[in-house]
Structure 1
């Protein structure tokens, strides 16, 4: 075997090894499931119109976003929901903003009767995000808002 063939084969093996290692590095650099930029807004109902609670958040994962469960609760209640309890909560509507990120919005209509039954003061929003690959992330206090008394 000539030296030129051996050198060419070694160079080729090193180049292929580098490409394979780079591919593995890229594949292992996965994005973890995140829930960011959460905000909640409560609008009390008026004489002629219903009010609302709106919670918006950005959810990201390299596999995509499957679902976001949401529950709002008064801080004075000391409820402090768990991830297991949120599995049966209502889902937010999630719309993709990229391959990895979705903007999720949960909107709840609040009637005058509903508003009369709400505890005044600070409220929290808890969220349970589920990625397309099945990973989950529980955020016990994803946002906060106030209900006037």
Structure 2
């Protein structure tokens, strides 16, 4: 009888150990997660240049390799096709700083000239984001945040 108990306990340890290893491997393969994404657009005024700023927090257990940002008008051709990973690879990169154990806070900021503002479509805009972790996993959010150009 005690031999059966010993075999049952040993089998249970093997099963639990295997499940733990699977859970650990699964956790490492999770794509980057975005949180608290915001976008702010300030139009140029007089001699003052305008700005576009996007911020987000990214959690990636293997570490974040890069974060690409693309602002696009809601009434453009991207509204029907949406940005792809391939298109986002050519977008501009944000600057990221550590913000916790596996989390970084990323900011993308650029100036907007009066000429650029005059040529930009008015109305709703979306911000697409491509987060790439060190292990190559990616997260693409084509509407991570939004803003309005008046």
TM bin (shorter chain): 0.7 to 0.9
Q: Which runs of 5+ in 1 are unaligned?
A: 1-9
CA distance in 1, matches of 2:23, 2:77: 44
**Contact preservation (8 Å) 1:123, 1:144:** yes
Partner of 2:58: 59
Deviation >2 Å, runs of 4+:
16-29
How big is each residue's C-alpha offset from its partner over 1:53-101, in whole Å with a ceiling of 9 and x where there is no partner?
1011111111011100111011111322211100011101111112311
Partner of 2:4: none
Partner of 1:35: 34
Change (3 A) 1:76 1:22: closer
Q: Which has the larger radius of gyration?
A: 1
**Contact preservation (8 Å) 1:64, 1:99:** no
What is the TM-score with the length of structure 2 in the denominator?
A: 0.80
Q: Which runs of 5+ in 2 are unaligned?
A: 1-6
Alignment RMSD, CA only?
2.4
What is the TM-score with the length of structure 1 in the denominator?
A: 0.81
Partner of 1:117: 119
Partner of 1:73: 72
Partner of 1:4: none
**Contact preservation (8 Å) 1:69, 1:91:** yes
Partner of 2:110: 108
